[in-house]
Every structure is written in C-alpha cells, then in structure tokens.
Amino acid sequence: MMTWCINRESYESLCHDLGLSPAQVALAWLLSRPGVVGPIIGPRTVAQLDDSIPAIDVVLSPEILKQLDALWPGPGEAPEAWSW
C-alpha cells in the first residue's frame, strides 16, 4: 500500500510538471501503446469528458514514457503480459 501511495504522488507530480491532468497522461500513455486503437473511457460527467479529449493530441516523449514505466512497471511486456 505504501509503494502505491508513493507512486501515486510521483505520478501526480510528473503530471503537474507536464501541465496535464493524471487522466490526460494516462490516456496519452494508452494511445502510445502498440496495438491500442482507442481506449474506452467512461466519464461520468461532462467535465470528465472535457478533461479527457485533449489527450488525443498529447505525445509523450520517450523519456516520459520511461518514467511512467518505472512508476508503474506492470506484470511484464505489454500487451502480451496483460492478456489472459
């Protein structure tokens, strides 16, 4: 639990430094993944939808992608390790 909190704080700090919301960075990361055509989003409010739309134009640099992978390493190489 403690590692998750530290990673969340680091993630939010990185997003702040980029001038983007955490949702925008997450969607931009998803769109940068090979094989991802369009992430399915589920906004509950118009404000959440409005916040998500700019992610379409966000291009994360290789350095930022490495930082995100270090924060959230996942179970292995995507997408294979994420399939069942």
Are residues 64 and 18 in contact, defined by beta-carbon separation less than 8 angstroms?
Answer: yes
Phi, psi of 40 (to 5 degrees): -90, 120
Token representation of residue 64: 């930022």
| Residues, the chain | 84
How does pLDDT run across 49-83, given as a tens digit for each residue?
999 999 999 999 999 999 998 888 777 766 666 66
Q: How far is CA 74 from the centre of its chain?
A: 12
> What is the model's pLDDT at position 7?
85
Token representation of residue 71: 């924060």
0.85 exceeded by the pTM? no
Q: What percent of the chain has pLDDT over 90?
A: 58
| Residue 23 host element (H or E) | helix 22-32
Mean pLDDT of the chain: 86
